[in-house]
Chains A and B, each alone.
Chain A
Amino acid sequence: MYAKSLSPFWVNTLAIIGALVVVVGAWNILSLTTAAFAHGQIITLSANELALGPALALDPTVLNQLSATSTAPLTPVRLAIPAIGVEATVEQVGLKADGSMATPSNFENVAWYSLGAKPGAPGNAVIDGHVNNALTKAGVFEHLSSLTLGDALIVTDSSGNKLSYVVVGTQAYAANAAPDGAIFATSGPSQLVLITCDGQWDTANHQFDKRLVVTARLVH
């Protein structure tokens, strides 16, 4: 009865809108499912393990990815994470006014904390990246939680020199209870630390309630 009163225009319009809703809804559900599986892979390590990391037996594929690299300190301009398809430009950042590490200027780049350790130098070279943006678009580190022990990371400087790392640990910390001193350590073994947001959106504080910290050890 209702159908008889609708013109072909409104039937077509409603059909297109309905199809659009179904398609984007299904895409959204698929994304949430993927994220849930990815979160299930988080490996819990203590703060000490964050600094030390377990010994690893590297996959031959990873070894191939790490070939032809050096161990001298460098200023990073590119970061590659083959396991999750990241090939990003590295910006240099310092601190925000609130004392937190600054973030990259867009959602495709990552940012190196240039007031801390350099890649290849003693201590943790810290790189962060966005997990998402406000328009549902993925950030460069959207799939950071998918990394597993032994995955390869490669940083490159402007001259093409490379440093290779393997993931030795991942950990999710409450946003206000992370061991900042250990994460931003400027002494100890040369490591690469990747950081992005994780957990649930905290409406009151306008941020995610956790931070995902991936630690990778320099390969000599």
Chain B
Amino acid sequence: MSLARSLGITLTALTLAALPLFVSAQSYNYNTSAHCGYSYPTNSDPYGYSYNGSVCGPRTLLVYVQVMNPSDTNATYAPSNFTVTVSGTNPTPSTFAGSIYGTPVQMGVGNYLVSIANAPAGFTASYSAGCSGSIDYLGQGPTCVVTETSSANQYSYPTPYPYPYTTLQPLTCTPSYQTVNIGQSVTFTVENGIQGTFVNGLPAQSGYNWQTPSRSFLNIGPTLTTLFQTSGVQTVTVSNGAQTAICTVNIVSTAQAVVYPGASSVTATYYPSSSVVPTLPNTGFEPHTALEYALALALLGAAAIASYPYVRKISFAILG
């Protein structure tokens, strides 16, 4: 990834970081012990999660898109060529490019419907049972599989795909430091996953959802820089598509802080916490005896005396 792209994603992450604060103040501070009703919201909450004085958290709908391309042409359409639209109780995102790896959509309880908006000519969509219905606050969120098939496709239909898609590389999360002081920033970097699609620096397809002990950062880039005000081992969770990875970092008070020296005196960069055990150092050199050096010196001297007249003259003068 280029420096410009890294910078762009980081700036996007920082810009969007302020959004969850606003959201949190209005709707995500839910009480899990309270009863959530099934009716649509009737109050003025713009996010629709409040019912009868209690608040319900959002649920996650997973939407997968697979494409059966025409077998008689070279045309190859990808799931991202199909735009998915989700209607329901404040779905986030409500419109996105399809993905074989699945796209999580958060939404409030109530009825929902998944549809394809811009299918290329000749394609027909079929929808699994989880692509419409009612979502409530109990149990696992539904899974929707949309299959787009070309009318020219000659293969058997439907082709069975494993869901969740299993060939995706595991999501991994790495902190920039293992141990930092309270108040010192840490950058977490996530790798693999579906990695998201960014257009003009803004996420157009599933980015990464980050959860720190105190805040949520939704649909942002693969890096998150944050700091902690509480000591102890802190956990940061990142999700992307149907995958989740966990980072941990040890926060210490100033009195106990491990203050690393400047980069010039530390040859290592930073590593996942599970792999920072070095092997033992090599502190020795091939031993030579002093006798070897004495003989080498004697031979060198003899060669010099034999080869160079001036060395011979000097030696005669010294040794008589």
Q: Mark B273-315, 1 if CB is under 8 A from A, else 0.
A: 0001111111111111111011101100110010000000001
A115 touches B294 (CB 8 A): no
- In B125-150, which residues have CB < 8 Å from any A CB? none
Using a CB-CB cutoff of 8 Å, which residues 149-176 of chain A contact chain B? Answer: 173, 175-176
Instruction: For B286, give its contact among A92, A134, A141 (CB under 8 Å).
Output: A134
Which of A7-15, A40-48, A54-62, A78-86 interfaces with chain B? Answer: A7-15
Indicate whether A25 sits within 8 Å of B290 (C-beta atoms), given known contacts A103-B281, A195-B281: yes
- Inter-chain CA distance A195–B290, complex, in Å, is 25
B268 engages A95 (CB within 8 Å): yes
CB-defined contacts of A9 to chain B, threshold 8 Å: 315-316, 319-320
CB of A86 to closest CB in B, whole Å = 14
Instruction: Verify A197–B282 contact, CB threshold 8 A.
Output: yes
A94 and B315 contact, CB distance less than 8 A: no
- Smallest Cβ-Cβ distance to B179: which chain A residue: A186
Chain B residues positioned under 8 Å from A183 (CB to CB): 280
**8 Å CB interface, B109-164 against A:** none
Task: Please pick, from B267, B283, B290, B295, the residue contacting A131 in the complex, using a CB distance under 8 A.
Answer: B283
Complex Cα–Cα for A120 and B279 (A): 22
In the complex, whether B259 has a CB less than 8 A from a CB of chain A is yes
Q: Does A96 contact B (CB under 8 A)?
A: yes
Point out the residues of chain A lying under 8 angstroms from B260, CB to CB: 114-115
Cβ-based interface call for B34 (8 A) = no
Determine if A146 is an interface residue (Cβ-Cβ < 8 Å): no
- Contact residue among A24, A113, A211 (Cβ-Cβ distance under 8 Å from B278): A113
Closest chain A residue, CB of each to CB of B312: A9
A93 to B265, CA, bound (A): 6
Complex Cα gap A176–B288 (Å): 24
> How many residue pairs at the A-B interface have CB separations less than 8 Å?
144
B316 surroundings in chain A (CB, below 8 A): 9
Q: How far is the CB of B222 from chain A (nearest CB, A)?
A: 25
Docked CA distance A180–B259 (Å): 23
Residue of B nearest to A133 (CB): B285
Residues of B contacting A27 with CB < 8 Å?
A: 290
Contact A180 B290 (CB under 8 A): no
- Tell yes or no: B258 within 8 A of A by CB: yes
Please measure, in the bound complex, the distance between the C-alpha atom of A133 and the C-alpha atom of B124, giving whole angstroms.
Answer: 76
| CB nearest to B282 among chain A residues | A207
Q: How far is the CA of A73 from the CA of B320 in the complex (A)?
A: 65
**Do A24 and B265 touch across chains, with their CB atoms under 8 A apart?**
no
Q: Which of A14-68 contact B (CB under 8 A)?
A: 16-17, 20-21, 24-25, 27-28, 31
Q: Would you call A102 an interface residue if the criterion is a C-beta within 8 Å of the partner chain's C-beta atoms?
A: yes
State which of A96, A132, A141 has its C-beta within 8 Å of the C-beta of B267.
Answer: A96
Q: Cα distance A75–B305 when bound, in Å?
A: 55
Chain B 20-48 interface mask (CB, 8 Å, partner A; 1/0)? 00000000000000000000000000000
Q: CB within 8 Å of A: which of B248-280? A: 256, 258-261, 265-268, 276-280
- Interface flag for A130 (CB, 8 Å): yes
**Is the Cβ of B298 less than 8 Å from the Cβ of A136?**
no
What residues of B have a CB within 8 angstroms of the CB of A201 in the complex?
284, 286-287
CB-based closest 9 A-B pairs: A197-B284, A94-B268, A95-B268, A94-B266, A24-B290, A134-B285, A101-B281, A12-B319, A24-B294
Sampled A-B contacts (24; CB under 8 Å):
A9-B319, A12-B319, A16-B319, A17-B298, A20-B298, A25-B291, A91-B265, A92-B261, A93-B266, A94-B265, A100-B280, A113-B278, A114-B260, A114-B266, A115-B266, A118-B258, A132-B287, A136-B287, A139-B283, A195-B280, A195-B281, A197-B284, A201-B287, A211-B280
